[in-house]
A and B are shown apart, each in its own frame.
Chain A
Amino acid sequence: MSSLPATKLAPAVRAENVTRHYPMGESLIRAVDGVSLTIEPGEFVALLGQSGSGKSTLLNLLAGLDRPTSGSVSVHGRDLATMSSEELARYRRNDVGMVFQSFHLIPSMTITENVELPMRFAEVERAERAQRVRESLERVGLSKRMEHRPSQLSGGEQQRVSLARALANRPSLLLADEPTGNLDSRTGEDILNLIRDISLSLGMTVVMVTHERVLAERFAQRLIFLADGKLVAEEVRA
């Protein structure tokens, strides 16, 4: 499962000179171009930048959804580059939770089923699932309307469900891609409060991609600025 003994010693995330290039017709897109960074366990880090700055690509590299063109990404001391696609899937399933701008809930499934889905992939026993679904939903403040479909919920509620789904397999690393992008500012703040609280209470590392500097400054401990695929600035908060 999530908490490896190595967690305390190794950094949660270490990226070394990571690049990710895409061929686009004749030219080459350097989405991520030589980024090195280290994130400590339990840290809440925001990746900031204009759209096209490479922050989402970097997040996908951390999630193991994508592989770097060169350089290395290791999480809890494990090099993602050496993992097979099956191992990467297991890594995403057990060590990573993901939250997206447009929630990416499965519309045909109820709230319960959406939260349960990652546990199906992780082959969690059926009896345990129901309890963990309830636990996760309670943690995000949703314990009613569990049999509703996502479309029957408000945006904020959907993002809470998505967060509950990300927490279902008790990951050590939460990756959030513009989690407030589709929410009004108050709801967005609520979600970020929630993420910060959960991060603090579970000791979970959070990496959030956003372009809203104000929110990032309020919630993240460290801000990392990207432009044209390069790390351009870093700012440590309280």
Chain B
Amino acid sequence: MKGYDLFELAVRNLRQSKLRNGLTTIGISVGVASLVAMLSLGVGLQQLATRRLAGSGMFDTVFVTSRQDFRGFDREDDQKAPHPDKAPVLDEPARVKMTQLANVTEVQPEIRVMGEVMSGGETHFGFVTGLPMSARENEAFDTLKGKFFSSDNADEAILLLDFAKELNPKNPSELIGQDISLRYGERQALTQDSSDRPQLTGGESNAIAAGDDFGFSVVRKQQKLRVIGLIDQEPYGGMRTVSRGRIFLPVATTERLNMAQFTDMRSSLRGASGKTYMTLTVRVKDPAKVQGVQDAISQMGFRTFSVLDATKSLRRFFTVLDLFLGIFGSLALAVATLAIINTLVMAVLERRREIGVMKAIGASDGDVKKLFFTEAGAMGFFGGMLGIALGFAIGKAINIGTGIYLVRHQLPAEPVWIMPVWLIGAAIGFSIVVSLLAGLYPASRAAKLDPVQTLKYE
């Protein structure tokens, strides 16, 4: 029998018992809908998490610290490596070396210092953070009011909205374009000539080369800055250090001003090391290359950390989540499969005579089998289509529901349920395959019917 004849007969047979086949088809569609809804929820949640992480600008970043400064939590790791005091320090040559690594786009120091802003006769304390020009891509600047830094070295500041409200409670936006005065501590190197130079023991004095090797003093300074923008949240989500930055300057400006950092205390203890960095942020061209860069920097003897480490377990989590959602979603489809088997077995019993007649007038066993198969497949197809529509409606409802919930909690509404195109195709395909499997038994039962028996009793 030809395909279109098969399909035509199958559809007309299905229409013979509209109620029963309709109910079975709806059963399949509920199964498909629940599977689609569950899997789409998994996909949506995964994309949400990935978007959050990607937006945070962490995916393409490796954080580098010196083993001298931070002892790892992993004792074994430390024991294998040489003694921390022999580990290299994060100084300018190390930074340059990292810049030259393949796939590295920039290496920025992490600068975070205490500062005070004078306003209306009052002082306002806040942490000052240096930001590279590449920070423009960070999601924190999606809602930037005003402008971003005009250059890496400009005397400009972007304020956190909370901080701006402190300075100007009524209308913080007015601050944009105004000048503020930032008070900070400048690190001034002590030279050998300095009157208050420290007493050095003989061995160390030979090692003294230049710069602030003797130590430094912190001198209060003031710098005029033009406020050019306001942001709602801190870029990089405060993941990098405990304190929250509220005043943002271009990173080169902070370096030029030579602001004294807490971490300078560590380097002041260490003789003959010159200026060192506590943390360097290495940005990689492509998240896929992060591992290679991380390995290369580890080879140099530094401690590294990237979100990649965190995403590995995240990905594992979502694989398990998808699996569970899929299993729960499949339960309804499994029940629907039983409904198909039941419906078709009933149909075989009811149509015994008809099957016998068809065989008598020339239908082969294969034709009969294919006919029942096609009926099962058609129910699967229609059930799948209906299920997609139903699943889509459920998903929309989930999105609207969570949207309302998020907005009520002052969070931006985001879709947690995303139905990718591949899932639509896969769901319909899966529904058809499952239906065909369910049709296997009834179809072979129909094909095996003995026409002589079915035609005998009249």
Contacts and interface: CB of A to CB of B under 8 A. Distances in A.
Interface of A: 57, 60, 63, 65-66, 85-86, 89-90, 92-94, 98, 100-102, 104-106, 108-109, 117-118, 120-123, 165-166, 169
B365 interface: yes
Contacts of B362: 89-90, 92-94, 118, 121-122, 169
Interface in B304-342: none
Interface stretch (B56-64, B143-151, B350-358): B350-358
Contacts of A169: 362
Interface string B344-388: 000000000110111111111111000000000000000000000
Contact of B364 (A86, A102, A104, A120): A86
Contacts of B451: 65
A57 B451 CA distance: 12
B16 interface: yes
A117 B1 CA distance: 10
Q: Is chain B's interface secondary structure helix, strand, loop, or mixed overall?
A: helix
Interface of B: 1-2, 5, 9, 12, 16, 353-354, 356-367, 451-452, 455, 458
Contacts of B2: 120, 123
Contacts of A102: 458
A117 B355 CA distance: 12
A106 B353 CA distance: 9
B452 A89 contact: no
B157 to A, nearest CB: 80
A224 B359 CA distance: 27
Given A85-B365, A120-B9, A121-B367, A65 B360 contact: yes
Contacts of A100: 360, 455
7 contacts: A65-B360, A85-B364, A90-B362, A90-B364, A92-B361, A104-B356, A117-B358
A98 B452 contact: no
A116 B360 CA distance: 14
Contact of B452 (A66, A86, A94): A66
Given A66-B452, A89-B359, A108 B12 contact: yes
A125 to B, nearest CB: 9
Contacts of A93: 361-363
A123 B360 contact: no
Contacts of A90: 362, 364
A191 to B, nearest CB: 17
Contact of B353 (A63, A65, A104): A104
